Amino acid sequence: MKDTLIFDVRNIKDWDFNEYEVEISPSQLEFEIEDVENIDQVRGSVHLLRHGDNDVYVKADVSTEIEMQCGKCLEMFRSGIAATFEVQFTSDSGTEKEQTEDIDEGERYFDGETFDISEDTRRALVIQIPVWPLCSQTCEGLCQNCGTNLNDEICSCEGTEDVEDNVSDVSSPFADLSQMIEAAKLENQNKTNNSKERFRKNGSS
Ligand SMILES: [Zn+2]
Ligand SMILES: [Zn+2]
């Protein structure tokens, strides 16, 4: 078990395939994110393949567990996140132009001896954190009236059911359309009635 994401490849031979199990503390990764707490150890496996004198191909599978606040019921809950990423390192400095611009996307320059994938690991995991975390897909959220967590108990607020009905209407793609048609019908009827009335009035006077 390796407790760092810095790899020394000086002793890795060409086409040697190496696999490392890693376990890193989140503080070591500077894995600190707003609204995310109690981040577990980051665990995973890192595969290294050297090809040629200059290039090392890296593939990493990493995962951890974090605590977040549900966006609907506001309860804290734990959830696993996992990421896979690949990096191609090269120590072939080549021409000056290659150093600055021409290195392939995803290919990084290293000194030919050691490289560090801590930052890659942190970034790969951070983008797995949901922007709108939900404790479950079926989370009922809070009553908008009394604040009761509707996952735990049902409150006796009036209008709670109406709110739910409206929500389910909106989820139908045709709900808005049918409402618009109804509204248009009513408007037309009113117009017709008004003009009839006006006609009658005009006629009678
Ligand atoms: Zn929830
Ligand atoms: Zn309520």
Task: Summarize pLDDT for 147-185 with one digit per residue, the tens.
Answer: 999 999 999 987 545 444 444 444 455 556 666 667 777
pLDDT given for residue 184 in this prediction:
74
| 106 three-class SS | coil
Q: Distance between CA 69 and CA 133 in Å, rounded?
A: 7
159 CA distance to ligand 1 middle (Å): 21
136 CA distance to ligand 1 middle (Å): 6
The residues near 190 (Cβ < 8 Å, ≥ 6 apart) are: none
Ligand nearest to the CA of 141: 1
27 CA distance to ligand 1 middle (Å): 28
Q: Distance between CA 46 and CA 18 in Å, rounded?
A: 8
Element (H, E) at 139: none
pLDDT given for residue 198 in this prediction:
53
Ligand nearest to the CA of 138: 1
16 CA distance to ligand 1 middle (Å): 48
Residue whose C-alpha is closest to residue 66's, from 140, 133, 123, 138: 133
CA angle, 53 as apex, 49 and 58 as ends, to 5°? 25
Q: Is residue 199 over pLDDT 70?
A: no
pLDDT given for residue 11 in this prediction:
83
Q: Is residue 100 over pLDDT 80?
A: no
Q: Distance between CA 114 and CA 57 in Å, rounded?
A: 13
Report the b/e string of 51-63 with b at 16+ CB within 10 A: eeeebbbbebebb
164 CA distance to ligand 2 middle (Å): 12
Q: What is the pLDDT of residues 11-38, one digit of tens each?
A: 887 778 899 999 999 999 888 888 899 9
169 CA distance to ligand 2 middle (Å): 21
Tokens standing for 16? 């040697």
Q: What is the pLDDT of residues 114-154, one digit of tens each?
A: 999 999 999 999 999 999 999 999 999 999 999 999 999 99
AA identity, residue 197: E
151 CA distance to ligand 2 middle (Å): 12
pLDDT given for residue 15 in this prediction:
79
AA identity, residue 96: E
